[in-house]
A and B are shown apart, each in its own frame.
Chain A
Amino acid sequence: AQKVTQAQTEISVVEKEDVTLDCVYETRDTTYYLFWYKQPPSGELVFLIRRNSFDEQNEISGRYSWNFQKSTSSFNFTITASQVVDSAVYFCAAHTGANSKLTFGKGITLSVRP
């Protein structure tokens, strides 16, 4: 079984600040997949990114970047120059080939103040 830990529960920043959301995962499988989802106040979970365990490159998409570190079992998410619209709950999740479900962390509530 896998486990996903999001130690931060709530983060509040002022607009234009950079913010990093932490995610630590545990799994015994050598092949696994890591995800970030955003849940805005409307409630619908929005897929942001998937990372495979065998792809160690980091990724940048606009103001979003993800840092995958196998050595520390972390998959952190950074928002650069945060905006009010980034306010949401962010979930990190994991999936392995051993089962069919996504295991989610508890989520981090990000508030971006104008």
Chain B
Amino acid sequence: GAGVSQSPSNKVTEKGKDVELRCDPISGHTALYWYRQSLGQGLEFLIYFQGNSAPDKSGLPSDRFSAERTGGSVSTLTIQRTQQEDSAVYLCASSLVGLAGGEYNEQFFGPGTRLTVL
């Protein structure tokens, strides 16, 4: 079946603008994750959704970052008033079962969105 898809693949924006990044997880996967990959910081966890539970937002770097997941499927990561340090590749991943299901299952990653803030 189809893997995790993300759009856009590339996004160039001006400092101060808002951006929205989209993730379509693998069908049937209940858990969805956002990560950020940047040169200086490596791969960083941002936020995690599992079913109808409250999301784990512990990795969001500031209140300019937010994410939602509608209908338990598609997720949107929004960055408001973008800064140059937000430039990175934003990766989305999904897994079949998160914590609630017991044994942990591997996360499958999308191709990422490369965000460049000028």
Contacts and interface: CB of A to CB of B under 8 A. Distances in A.
Contact of A100 (B89, B99, B111, B112): B99
Interface stretch (B22-30, B41-49, B68-76): B41-49
B56 interface: yes
Contacts of A43: 89, 111-112
A103 interface: yes
Contact of B45 (A50, A97, A101): A101
A67 to B, nearest CB: 19
Contacts of A75: none
Contacts of B93: 45
A97 B42 contact: no
Interface in A86-114: 91, 93, 95, 97, 99-107
A17 to B, nearest CB: 27
Contact of B42 (A42, A100, A101, A107): A107
Interface in B39-81: 42-43, 45, 48, 50, 56, 58-59
Bin the interface of chain B by size: 20 to 34
Interface in B75-108: 89, 91, 93, 98-99, 103-104, 106-108
Given A44-B109, A47-B106, A106 B59 contact: no
B45 A102 contact: yes
Interface in A33-54: 33, 35, 37, 42-47, 50, 52
Given A43-B89, A50-B106, A97-B99, A103 B111 contact: no
Interface of A: 33, 35, 37, 42-47, 50, 52, 91, 93, 95, 97, 99-107
